[in-house]
Amino acid sequence: MTLPEGVRRHDFDGETALATRGPPAYGEPTDGEWRRWDPRRSKLGAMLERGVETGLEGGETVLYLGAAAGTTVGHVADFAGPTYAVEFAARPTRDLLSVADDRGNLFPLLKDARKPETYAHVVEPVDVVVQDVATRGQARVALANRRFLRDDGRLLLSVKARSEDVTGDPEAVFDEAVETLSEEYEIRERRRLEPFHDDHLGVVAAPR
């Protein structure tokens, strides 16, 4: 598995961890310009840590759905090109805005990812959609945002089983989500994100 350009394993006080280069954002350990990317706080970080072939090379245009306070999308903006960050909850958005203040390529959008028509006038075609919304209908959100992906682009999706069905068998939930996704995406890889995130599936998919 190759890490994108701009992401590397870096030594922090004798411990090697994923890192990107950029202004600190949430009190994470830093060493010079490098700041630690904790896979326990990031599904995309966990995908990289688990060795998933994300296809990320660095410099891509990204649409990130479910940005929350900007923990992961801040790391993404450190190695990517223009990065559009969609989040619909007002509460975490203040922190997201301050992460964006330090990054000229990060564009927060206070929008609902289930309504892509409300940001279609702002978002250009992207190389990568990263999605971590952790709400019911996660696969449907990915289908709705397919329109932004270039034909040779990639979807990097995290599915939280309990957001779909609190009591159901996670594998059954994942199978259903992947089946729904298959309407418009070809699945390249699926990988559970334990031990970093319980009952989460990481999916790499390409538009059909």
Where along the sequence are the contacts to ligand SAM (CB under 6 A)?
A: 42, 66-68, 71-72, 86-89, 92, 112-114, 132-135
13 or 71: CB nearest ligand SAM = 71
Q: How far is the CB of 193 from ligand SAM (least distance, A)?
A: 12
Q: How far is the CB of 73 from ligand SAM (least distance, A)?
A: 6
6 or 116: CB nearest ligand SAM = 116
122 or 208: CB nearest ligand SAM = 122
Q: How far is the CB of 14 from ligand SAM (least distance, A)?
A: 26
Q: How far is the CB of 48 from ligand SAM (least distance, A)?
A: 13
40 or 208: CB nearest ligand SAM = 40
68 or 205: CB nearest ligand SAM = 68
What's the Cα-to-Cα distance from 37 to each of 111, 116, 196, 197, 204, rounded to whole Å? 26, 29, 13, 15, 20
Nearest to 143 by CA among 183, 186, 110: 183
Q: How far is the CB of 1 from ligand SAM (least distance, A)?
A: 20
